[in-house]
Each structure stands twice: as structure tokens, then as C-alpha cells.
Amino acid sequence: MAGHEHVRVAVIGSGFGGLGAAVRLRREGITDFVVLERADSVGGTWRDNSYPGCACDVPSHLYSFSFAPNPDWPRAFSGQEHIRDYLERVTDVFRLRPHIRFGAEVKLMIWDPERLRWEIETSGGRFSADVVVSATGPLSEPRIPDIPGLDSFPGKVFHTARWDHDHDLRGERVAVIGTGASAIQIVPEIQPHVSRLTLFQRTPPWVLPRVDREIGALERRLHRALPFTTQIRRGFLWGIRELQVHAFTKRPGELRLVEQVARRNLARTVKDPELRARLTPNYRMGCKRILLSNSYYPAVVRPNVDVISGGLSEVRGSTLVASDGSTAEADVIVFGTGFHVTDMPIAERVVGAEGRTLSESWREGMRALRGASAAGFPNWLSIIGPNTGLGNSSMILMIESQLNYMADFLRQLDVLGGRVALDARPGAVDDWNRKVQERMRRTVWSTGGCTSWYLDERGNNSALWPGTTGEFRSATRRVDLAEYEVLRGGDPSANAHRAHGVNGVQGERGERGEHVDGKVNA
């Protein structure tokens, strides 16, 4: 990759979003594309998060592509290793490996307004592309808070998404910072092996029982022999979650009934009233992510576990100080403090038509037309962009809707013909964002009385979609050209702003490929 490669489409990332985009491109007959991946294997967040107990909280048959059903999921809720294996098989079944450039972390993407293309610098070479599909995902860059004295800590420090498998925790004093989805899976796994486990809890989560079970051989044989049974199962799981959405988005008060289930779940296991009080949330369920676990509370009540009601505020050597003044000694610090969701680092590396970075454009908050297109960034599409996240269902449903939008975006470019680009009109972006935020005001995420990673520093929810997945699919089924400015090669208006950056050599487009489809079997 020492030279310069020009392609029609450059996809950034090889998680669910990136691989899904690659499959859809091939199914649309487009083979002139690359997938730029910074690591040495596919998988995205399911490659990076390999901590003990890592698993999905969405049922397996819903947390997979509709075009790549897997009849051999071993459990109702699959573990990280099963999901990663699934993504590896998707890569092979749909013949994606020739398109993937491993070790190619994007350092800078600059829009060239004269050539109407993106110039891309990566750690593995230089590329240019007519269209960029950014599928880096919101859960890709770990967030470690700036804690005074952390650099003085003499022991091991790592984030859950960068688990150090070479470090043996047995017999050590371990501090887990945070009580989110990763932490409640890790705590039960490491508690039996450590000498002391201190959990720094800033806000207690709502925890519901995890209705998980092994999927037997007979069920798997049935799904293999009669594929429609997999579709029925997936449809049932989808329908149940669609019915739940109105409680999150329109009638948060209805979640009180589910809160009673969670309270009984807590009371059954935690008999100490003082500890139970510390583990009881004081906000409406759903305001923060609802967690599923059968083993978290049993682990927390063990004699070698302490729960501190306060976040980590200072480190003094091996002494950790909480915001409530409590202290604990530790040999290892594990941060379960989430990711850069509303301030994605990739935005700092994307330079648009006016010479501004995407992060500068999003200084007042992330905004994108239908979660995909940002004004001033022509032929740039995001998968899992602003306001496309979910609080109760499978993100794969949202990804597939955005793939529909991507496919029609490319079709519109073909229909327009010649050297052409589409740039979202600022008014269209504003109108879309205004409607989304108006709907957001009624949701539990705005009225539930908590602070969550869904909110940016201004308190705006730029992460979640305030409706059903069916509504989002309808909204992204087609590209409305009235929402875009059409830029053509040689058009003075397209060249009004000259971006600064690398110059590339125009390459040739590849041939259109065949229609592909596939089933993913273990």
C-alpha cells in the first residue's frame, strides 16, 4: 500500500457497520471499494472488547444480519467469542477479505472540491475515494477520565475495552471504576479470584434478570433445515421490542411496572438494607441503559467485595479516593467508564468542503441528516451516526436501514451521472435535527432524571433515536434529492471552498460485480 489507490467507495471500520456496508456494496454490484481497518482483524467492538464475561444483551437471532442468518447460535444471548466468530464467517461467506486493508488507520480525510473526491491518509498508505462511508462506531474509542494522580499509581491500569489478558488478577486488590454494562459482566467473573474487589459506583444501574439459556441441538437442526423458523424467531423478537418503544419515548411512567421487577430482583439477593439502598437507583428506569444480569448482585454481596457510592476522584499512590471521601487500596485499576460517543475522535480527522473539520462543524452538537449526512461534507455517509442509537433493541436493525440509505445514495449518484457529489443542505439537516429533538423531549432519556452517556456536554441527546426501528427504516428507505445540493465537476459553486491537503493520482474504477447472498453457519 505504499502507492495511491483510488476507489469508488472507502468504508472506514470492519465491525458490524463496515462489514454490512461491504456486503451491501457487493450485493448492489459494486466491487470497486476498500474497507480501511486499523487493526489486524475484523470485528470492531466485538474484537476490542474481550474482557471476562463479555456478552451481548440483545438476543442472538436479532443481533445478526437479516441477510446472513445464523441457525447455530449456541445461546439465547451470545458471548463475545460467538459474535466475533460470526463476523469472521460473514467476512468469508461474502468474500470481503480482498477488499479489506488491515493496519490502515485513518489519519486524515480531506475533501478535494475540484476533483470531487476524498483524499485519505492512513497508517498503511494513501487512498482516494468518490464516496466515504464512516463506520467507526460510537463504542470504538475508550474514555478514561482525567483523574488527578492517576499517573502516580504503581500498579496496572487498563480499560475494559483494552483488557490485559497477560496480567493475572488472582490474589490482587482490584478496583473497578464504573457500573455500566461492561462492569456488571466483569465483576462476577473476577470476584472469585481476586483478594479484594472495590467497586466505585457513581450511579447505581437498574438491573433486570437475564433470561438466557442454551439453544439445544434440536433447535439448531430445526433452524438449519427450515430457515423460515429463524425468520419467525427474529420477527417475534423484533415485534416485542417495537411494542416496548412507546414506554421509552412517549409514556415513561409505564416503566414503573418494570422497576418493580428490578426491585424484587435486588431484594431477593441483597439482604443488607444499607447495601440494598446504595444499589437502588433514584431515577426512572430506561433513563440510563437497562442492564441484564443474574450474577451481578450475588457477586456484589460476597465478603471480598466493597461498593463505594462515589466515583473515583483522586489517586494517591496505591490509595484511591472516591468523591464521597472513601478510600481503598488497589493493585489494579480497571476502568469501565465507557467510550467517546458524542465526541467521536474520527470527527477531528475529517476535513470538509469549507476546510473545517467535522468536529468543528459539530461544536454545538452532533447533527446529521437522517443520521447519515453532515452539511459541508459531500459524499460522506455515517453508519451509526447521530441519533441512530437504541435503548431497547438491536443496533443491527438500524445499521441495515442505513445501508438502504447508502445504497440509494450511490444509485442517485449513478442516475445524475458524470463527476458528481451530494452535499446535505444545512436547512435540511436543521429541519431533521429539530424534529428529532422535539420528539426527544417526551422520552425517558430527557425526563428520567439522570445523566447518561447518551447526552453531550450541553445536555442534548445526540446518540439515540426517539422512535421505533420501523419508523427509522421508513425514513431512510430513499434519498430525497431536495435535501441535497448537487455538486458537479467543473461547477464553480463546487469549487468555492478549497480544502488544504494531499494531492492524489486519479485511478480507475473497478468492474461491477455479481449479486451475492449467503447464510452463515457455525
Quickly list H helices, 72-132. Answer: 80-93
Angle at 178 between CA 176 and CA 184, to 5 degrees: 80
In a domain, 236, yes or no: no
Together in a domain, 84 and 176? no
Together in a domain, 316 and 350? no
- Of 288, 319, 335, which one is at a domain's C-terminal end? 335
What is the phi/psi pair of residue 295, to 5°?
-115, -10
In this predicted model, what pLDDT tens digit does every residue of 169-196 receive, in sequence order? 999 999 999 999 999 999 999 999 999 9
Quote the domain boundaries for residue 299: 150-211+246-335
Kindly list the distances between the CA atom of residue 467 and the CA atoms of 17, 236, 287, 390, 475, in Å, as whole numbers in the listed order: 20, 19, 15, 9, 11
**pLDDT mean across residues, the chain:** 92
**Of 121-130, 224-233, 291-300, 501-510, minimum mean pLDDT range:** 501-510
- Of 286, 314, 335, which one is at a domain's C-terminal end? 335
Together in a domain, 159 and 301? yes
In a domain, 468, yes or no: yes
- Of 303, 335, 367, which one is at a domain's C-terminal end? 335
Together in a domain, 396 and 362? yes
Q: Say how far apart CA 73 and CA 233 lie, in whole Å.
A: 12
In a domain, 428, yes or no: yes
Strands (E), 370-415: 380-382
In this predicted model, what pLDDT tens digit does every residue of 375-404 receive, in sequence order? 999 999 999 999 999 988 999 999 999 999
Together in a domain, 409 and 307? no
* Mean pLDDT calculated for residue range 480-505: 62
Angle between helices 16-27 and 395-416 (to 10 degrees): 40
In a domain, 291, yes or no: yes
In this predicted model, what pLDDT tens digit does every residue of 413-434 receive, in sequence order? 999 999 999 999 999 999 999 9
389 beta partners: 464
In a domain, 514, yes or no: no
pTM exceeds 0.75, yes or no: yes
Together in a domain, 47 and 180? no
Q: Say how far apart CA 357 and CA 500 lie, in whole Å.
A: 11
In a domain, 44, yes or no: yes
Assigned C-alpha cell, 173: 486488590
Residue partners of 273: CB distance under 8 A and separation at least 6: none
Together in a domain, 491 and 384? yes
What H or E segment, with its residue span, contains residue 26?
helix 16-27
* Mean pLDDT calculated for residue range 484-512: 49
Q: Say how far apart CA 322 and CA 149 lie, in whole Å.
A: 13
Together in a domain, 421 and 460? yes
* Mean pLDDT calculated for residue range 60-79: 96
In a domain, 216, yes or no: no
Widest distance between CA atoms in the chain: 74
The domain tally of the chain equals: 2
Q: What pLDDT, on a 0 to 100 scale, did the predictor assign at position 490?
A: 63
Together in a domain, 351 and 457? yes
Q: What pLDDT, on a 0 to 100 scale, did the predictor assign at position 343?
A: 86
Q: Say how far apart CA 102 and CA 100 lie, in whole Å.
A: 6
Assigned C-alpha cell, 328: 481503598
Q: CATH number, domain at 175? A: 3.50.50.60
Together in a domain, 366 and 413? yes
Together in a domain, 91 and 203? no
Q: Say how far apart CA 30 and CA 149 lie, in whole Å.
A: 52
Query: Do residues 60 and 78 touch, judged by C-beta distance below 8 A?
Result: yes
Grid cell 451481578 — which residue?
A: 296
Among 460, 443, 438, which residue's Cα sits nearest to residue 451?
460
Together in a domain, 307 and 159? yes
In a domain, 218, yes or no: no
